[in-house]
Chains A and B, each alone.
Chain A
Amino acid sequence: MHINNLKGYLYPIAGIVVLLFAWHFYVIEFDVPVVVLPTPGQVLEELVSRRAILLSEGWVTLKECVYGFALAFVVGVPLAVALATSRLLNQMFYPILIAMQSVPKIALAPIVLVWLGIGIESKLAIVWMVAFFPIVVDTAAGLRTTPREFIDLAQSLQATRFQLFIKIQFPAALPFVVSGSKVAITLAVIGAVIAEFVGSSAGLGNLLLVANSQLNTPLAFAALFALAALGIALYGAVVLAEHLLKPWLPADTGHNLSLD
């Protein structure tokens, strides 16, 4: 088992090393100018020497992602509950929700910027918009696909609607909430960067734009790597939450910590 675990880490690391070498030798061999593509070493240098600004800008982007995601979760889950428990609300709003889900919400970013300015409010709104839909739609789907035999069990005991919801429907839907959250957190990072691209004075997306305009490609790459790390860390946090929740989740979810 230990050997397998080791192999499980070793092979991906080997893959990364191979890619980094290929990148490095491509740049050296074809004499690619640093403005077009820096070597991995130059990017690493930049990551180390500019770590203060990367951390402070990363902190801004992290806050946008986390707050926006939290807002989406806090609004999305109760809304999904309302949709799943009220036939009227469901008939009125579920089709609209599905229709809105297919709107490219990123396209609304410039409009949101006009409404809310270039501060964190517009970032939160855009992150909220992209993260909100997967959470609502997945949670509502989970609540409406409660296995028939669980409902039978509750009904055979004359459970009240409230008991049915609290003790059967909601726990049965938790894996769906988790999978919706995984999609949402990934989209949240994209949303934050796009929002910063459209108009901002801080954040890794902003740093990337600034570095690009100064033709400082190593810094742009450093910002890109920081963004990737941020995205992986946030996704990892959701997976971790899933593991902490595991005693309440059905057995067929969250078997391992793989980032799939």
Chain B
Amino acid sequence: MFGVIDKVGKVYQSSGKKTPMVAIEEVSCTIGNGEFMAFLGPSGCGKTTLLRIVAGLVSKTSGSVQIDGREVTGPRRDFGFVFQSLNLLPWRSVLDNVLFPMEILGQRDAAAVSRAQELLATVGLDGFVRSRPHELSGGMQQRVALCRALIHKPSLLLMDEPFGALDELTRMEMHDLLLAIRAATKTTILFVTHSVSEAIYLSDQVLVFSKRPARIVAELAIDLPYPRQADLRYTKEFTQLERRAGEALGILKCTSTT
């Protein structure tokens, strides 16, 4: 197994309140090498916290996370992270944003620059290498962020609702782009989302989480064939999976009052 999440729990002990807040309740799962796994759950359920624990950005209260045979104790340089917000550095050009991780790792050389240019070309931004982030649309910015997360060839790519701020059409474009990049790089991907169809369209495995505190309420193996294309969204198999995820989330009953 590439990654093992074992009985991970997270409790926030806020000083003002007497009762501690349980964000995550004993979550266990395994991630195979090269697998695309989605954490699907309602907003604010703790799935992002779990992703950040895996990334080493947040400490866990209990349990263990092992990636590539090593316990995660803090951020690791073999991870790539795509954040929820468009957090490109506004004072850097597109190319310099993509090269940012290489600078931090002390590996910004000619090879890194040409790799950044190649990555930008694969996402269709070869004409924007010298542009500044504010000159790009939201979708283009998130493509740059994707290139930035991949520049140092991470073995695990962590994505925190990366397409949440994009419009529907752009998001669907990004899905196909991400699938293509994944096929090319064979990177293992952990993907947090609250979109049912996004989770199913992209993943090999979907973990459905409950409302806070986060527990796994269903594990869906998505055995839809690759390469996946947009018409897959309208097949019976796809909608059946959507229905199962919807049932696990409880949205097929009336729960919209929360």
Contacts and interface: CB of A to CB of B under 8 A. Distances in A.
Interface string B202-221: 00000000000000000000
Given A174-B91, A249-B91, A251-B90, A154 B134 contact: no
Contact of A250 (B81, B90, B100, B105): B90
Interface in B109-157: 132-134, 152
B91 A248 contact: yes
A157 B91 contact: no
Tell me the interface secondary structure of chain B in the complex. loop
Contact of B100 (A147, A153, A172, A248): A153
B142 to A, nearest CB: 13
A163 interface: yes
Contact of A156 (B75, B91, B132): B75
Q: In the complex, which of the residues A147, A153, A252 has the most CB atoms of chain B within 10 Å of its own CB atom?
A: A153
Given A163-B104, A167-B100, A251-B134, A153 B81 contact: yes
A249 B74 CA distance: 31
B238 interface: no
B57 to A, nearest CB: 6
Interface string B73-85: 0111101010101
B55 A156 contact: yes
B87 A149 contact: yes
A156 B57 contact: yes
Given A154-B104, A158-B104, A251-B132, A168 B85 contact: no
A157 B89 contact: no
B103 interface: yes
B134 to A, nearest CB: 4
Nearest to B92: A171
A167 B103 contact: yes
A155 B75 contact: yes
Contacts of A26: none
B84 to A, nearest CB: 8
A153 B100 CA distance: 10
B101 interface: yes
A53 interface: no
A156 B100 contact: no
B40 to A, nearest CB: 23
Given A153-B81, A155-B57, A158-B76, A250 B91 contact: yes
Q: How large is the interface on A (under 10, 10 to 19, 20 to 34, 35 or more residues)?
A: 20 to 34
B191 to A, nearest CB: 16
A248 B101 CA distance: 19
Nearest to A163: B104
A152 interface: yes
Contacts of B104: 154, 157-159, 163, 167
B90 A158 contact: no
Contacts of B103: 163, 167
21 contacts: A147-B87, A149-B87, A150-B87, A150-B89, A152-B81, A152-B83, A152-B87, A153-B81, A153-B100, A156-B57, A156-B75, A156-B79, A157-B104, A157-B105, A157-B152, A158-B75, A159-B104, A167-B100, A167-B104, A247-B132, A249-B91
Interface of B: 55-57, 74-77, 79, 81, 83, 85, 87, 89-91, 100-101, 103-105, 132-134, 152
Interface of A: 147, 149-150, 152-159, 163, 167-168, 171-172, 174, 247-252
Given A156-B75, A248-B91, A252-B90, 18 more contacts: A149-B83, A149-B85, A149-B87, A153-B83, A154-B104, A155-B75, A157-B77, A157-B100, A157-B104, A157-B105, A158-B74, A158-B77, A158-B104, A167-B103, A167-B104, A171-B89, A250-B90, A250-B134
